């Protein structure tokens, strides 16, 4: 069967969108000549713009592609876990946003140095960079795989072209360009997705009722395995794992902290978090439903056999065969925008971390703001190259599991208890640098041993929990060990805790 290709009208729409993104980068470049301007957009962005940027960054192409592919092939197992994002939002509003705004910092990891010392800052910054490298690689790969279905070119060329475009406007315009392009990309993402459902409904004899009935018969609305079984991937493992991932994204990830600090006021920062999080869950839900609706569409509508396609290729195939030329280009732009909004944020966040937490902290302390902006651009270029290389590696060695499952697992492993390192800083006054270091080393050791046991002895160790629980247990281990270790010996004297915990925000505490 001949694979459908992009049409001229589609290519014109996509090319215009790319030119707009690049133009925004060059316009914003004039305001990004200092480290403050390049990494924090001058701390002057409107809250509603930052909120859209947060939504677009978190949603990513995994929403546009992986979620519909998962629900098309399987069910709604990931939905309850994704809904916990609203709980994470409440914690962010109450805890994370006030702390980071009050501190006036440029990097999430500066807080850890103030609280526990340089080792904590460097460890967390290193984990954060690894987190973004893998995330960029996965997202670039998944979107390139879909574009390959549409254009018929080799995936290596597609990875290179997409990677260069995203890197170009991110390097030139810094965080301000990232936020403004994310706004446009977020609107395009939502608009492109909304086009799909009316076209599906218009061709189903029973309309919306067909989706509900046929999908229910196929068990497509199921939440999967709902048993509380630690040895398998279940709905509960995804709920707890995703809650911890979302808490880490909102409380310990540079992309979020940059946006808290980039907002023009505390009110703008709160508005950004509320808008970004409240928009994100409905967008996820809609794309879950798109995948289920496409399952019904290809079951019911005659002459639409797609048995030769992989789940990841279903939505691109639908776009090119069912949506008119030009309009399809807009939908594809939404798909690409979903990827670009996350990729540009990760490039800028990783560059900010490397510049602020390593280069400025260890190599060049007293340089001009313009110097750090210049170095940040160089690091952005480097991370753009690393992003493309990571995607190529994933292309060569990709496993057969669903990409949404792979991303959830790897991101929880790379967290390494990072969320709890921040939480024992925020929530306790007893835990000092020594106790935190003991807890961190214990957690990393447990994660490494867990991975070794699971890789080589999983068949004989029936009691070993599923790797999907790793992000949950690693954080619980770090917090528990850290607090317990704080009772071993006298607390080390160190810097004042004034303003560094919830108990010492107004005055020093001896508790």
pLDDT tens per residue across span 4-60: 666 788 888 888 877 877 777 667 666 555 555 566 655 667 778 888 778 877 776
Torsion sign (Cα): 180, 182, 184, 186:
negative
| Average pLDDT, integer, range 111-131 | 89
CA 315 to chain centre: 21
CA distance 284 to 84: 12
| Average pLDDT, integer, range 149-173 | 79
Write the pLDDT tens digit of every residue in 193-237: 888 899 999 888 888 888 999 999 989 999 888 888 777 778 888
Please check whether residue 347 is in contact with residue 253, taking contact to mean a CB–CB distance below 8 angstroms.
Answer: no
Residue 258 pLDDT: 79
Rounded to two decimals, the pTM is 0.82
- C-alpha count within 13 angstroms, C-beta hemisphere, residue 317: 21
CA distance 36 to 348: 13
Q: How large a percentage of the chain has pLDDT more than 70?
A: 84
131 exposure class (CB count in 10 Å sphere: 0-12, 13-18, 19+): buried
Helix (H) or strand (E) holding 415: helix 403-415
CA distance 460 to 463: 9
Comparing CA positions, the residue from 33, 107, 111 lying closest to residue 368 is 33
- Helices 369-397 and 327-353 sit at what angle, rounded to 10 degrees? 120
Torsion sign (Cα): 188, 190, 196, 202:
negative
Higher local confidence (pLDDT), 416 or 249? 249
Q: Please, what are the domains in the chain?
A: 8-406 (1.20.1730.10), 416-511 (no CATH)
Residue 416's pLDDT band (boundaries 50, 70, 90)?
low
Could you give the C-alpha distances from 270 to 107, 243, 273, 275, 290, in angstroms and in order? 19, 20, 5, 9, 31
Biggest CA-to-CA distance, the chain: 75
- C-alpha count within 13 angstroms, C-beta hemisphere, residue 358: 17
Please check whether residue 392 is in contact with residue 64, taking contact to mean a CB–CB distance below 8 angstroms.
Answer: no
370: which 2 tokens?
């313009």
CA distance 501 to 417: 19
Residue 398 pLDDT: 62
Res. 411: pLDDT tops 60: yes
């Amino acid at each position: 069967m001949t694979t459908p290709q992009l049409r001229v009208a589609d290519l014109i729409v996509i090319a215009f969108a790319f030119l707009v993104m690049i133009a925004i980068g060059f316009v914003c470049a004039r305001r990004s000549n200092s480290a403050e301007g390049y990494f924090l957009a001058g701390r002057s962005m409107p809250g509603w713009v930052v909120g859209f940027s947060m939504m677009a960054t978190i949603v990513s192409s995994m929403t546009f592609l992986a979620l519909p592919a998962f629900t098309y092939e399987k069910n709604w197992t990931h939905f309850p876990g994704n809904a916990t994002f609203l709980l994470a939002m409440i914690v962010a509003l109450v805890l994370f946003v006030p702390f980071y705004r009050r501190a006036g910092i440029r990097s999430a990891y500066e807080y850890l140095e103030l609280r526990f010392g340089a080792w904590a800052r460097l460890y967390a910054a290193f984990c954060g960079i690894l987190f973004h490298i893998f995330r960029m690689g996965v997202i670039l790969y998944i979107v390139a795989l879909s574009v390959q279905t549409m254009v018929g070119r080799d995936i290596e060329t597609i990875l290179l072209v997409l990677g260069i475009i995203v890197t170009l406007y991110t390097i030139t315009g810094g965080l301000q360009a990232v936020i403004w392009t994310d706004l446009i990309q977020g609107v395009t993402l939502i608009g492109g997705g909304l086009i799909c459902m009316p076209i599906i409904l218009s061709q189903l004899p029973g309309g919306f009722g067909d989706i509900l009935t046929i999908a229910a018969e196929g068990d497509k609305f199921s939440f999967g395995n709902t048993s509380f079984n630690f040895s398998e991937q279940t709905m509960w493992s995804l709920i707890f794992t995703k809650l911890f991932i979302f808490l880490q994204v909102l409380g310990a990830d540079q992309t979020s902290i940059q946006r808290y600090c980039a907002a023009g006021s505390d009110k703008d920062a709160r508005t950004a978090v509320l808008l970004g999080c409240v928009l994100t869950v409905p967008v996820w839900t809609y794309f879950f439903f798109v995948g289920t609706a496409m399952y019904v569409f290809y079951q019911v509508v005659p002459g639409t056999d797609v048995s030769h396609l992989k789940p990841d290729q279903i939505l691109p195939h639908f776009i090119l065969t069912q949506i008119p030329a030009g309009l399809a280009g807009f939908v594809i732009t939404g798909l690409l925008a979903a990827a670009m909004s996350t990729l540009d944020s990760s490039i800028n966040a990783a560059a900010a971390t490397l510049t602020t937490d390593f280069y400025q902290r260890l190599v060049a302390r007293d340089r001009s703001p313009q110097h750090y902006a210049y170095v940040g651009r160089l690091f952005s270029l480097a991370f753009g190259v690393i992003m493309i290389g990571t995607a190529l590696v994933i292309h060569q060695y990709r496993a057969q599991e669903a990409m949404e499952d792979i991303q959830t697992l790897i991101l929880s492993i790379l967290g390494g208890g990072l969320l709890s390192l921040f939480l024992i800083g925020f929530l306790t006054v007893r835990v000092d640098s020594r106790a935190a270091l003991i807890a961190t080393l214990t957690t990393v050791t447990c994660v490494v041993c867990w991975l070794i046991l699971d890789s080589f002895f999983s068949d004989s160790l029936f009691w070993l929990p599923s790797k999907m629980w790793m992000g949950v247990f690693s954080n619980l281990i770090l917090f528990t060990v850290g607090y317990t270790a704080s009772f071993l010996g006298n607390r080390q004297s160190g810097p004042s805790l004034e303003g560094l915990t919830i108990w010492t925000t107004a005055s020093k505490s001896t508790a």
